[in-house]
Amino acid sequence: MPEEKYMPKCPRCKRSLVQNKDTTATIAFYDCPSCHWHFAQEPGKGIHDRWLSPLSIALYSQIFEQHPEQTAEANAATILSQRPDLVPTLLSEISRELNVPTQQVSEIHDFVHASETSLRTHLGLLADALRRKTKA
């Protein structure tokens, strides 16, 4: 019997992932047939949310920031002006990831300037700012 190729588990629901046809030599893409989430993984790194996930959008403006924990208010204002429809989903996903971590968020955009801790702090402050600004 041929050996089955190991397929990683979904960080969200723990079921087996399916490799996506977009996979290349430098990045693997996975889809979860159970929870329908999409992931990516570069060689030597962990599985993380794929581009256009709520967390990738929330962190995109922080790629070149050295202190993302200081930019949450500005990021919230930008999100509210450009994509207010995303706010409920962003809040839900930020809360889920901060309460039950499933990935290294610093790998989503391959951050080189900011630490995992400062990015997670940014996400918490961003969620607080979005909540505060949407109640106003």
Query: Over the stretch 3-44, which tens digit does the pLDDT of each residue have?
Result: 446 789 999 999 999 999 999 999 999 999 999 999 999 999
And the tokens for 130? 């979005």
Read off the pLDDT of residues 67-78 as tens digits, 9 standing for 90 and up.
999 999 999 999
Query: Is the per-residue pLDDT at 1 higher than 60?
Result: no
Mean pLDDT of the chain: 94
| Residues 46-65, mean pLDDT to the nearest whole number | 96
With beta carbons less than 8 A apart as the criterion, state whether 103 and 48 touch: yes
What pLDDT, on the 0 to 100 scale, is given for residue 2? Answer: 43
For range 95-118, the mean pLDDT: 96
Residue 135 has pLDDT above 90, yes or no: no
| Listed residue (119, 121, 90) closest to 104, CA to CA | 119
Q: What is the CATH number of domain 1-50?
A: 2.20.25
Query: Which structure tokens are listed for 89?
Result: 């989903």
Report whether pLDDT(55) > 60: yes
| Side-chain-side CA neighbours of residue 79 (13 Å) | 30
* Contact in structure between 29 and 22 (CB atoms under 8 Å): yes
Are the beta carbons of 56 and 43 closer than 8 angstroms? no
Alpha carbons 133 and 12: distance in angstroms, whole number = 29
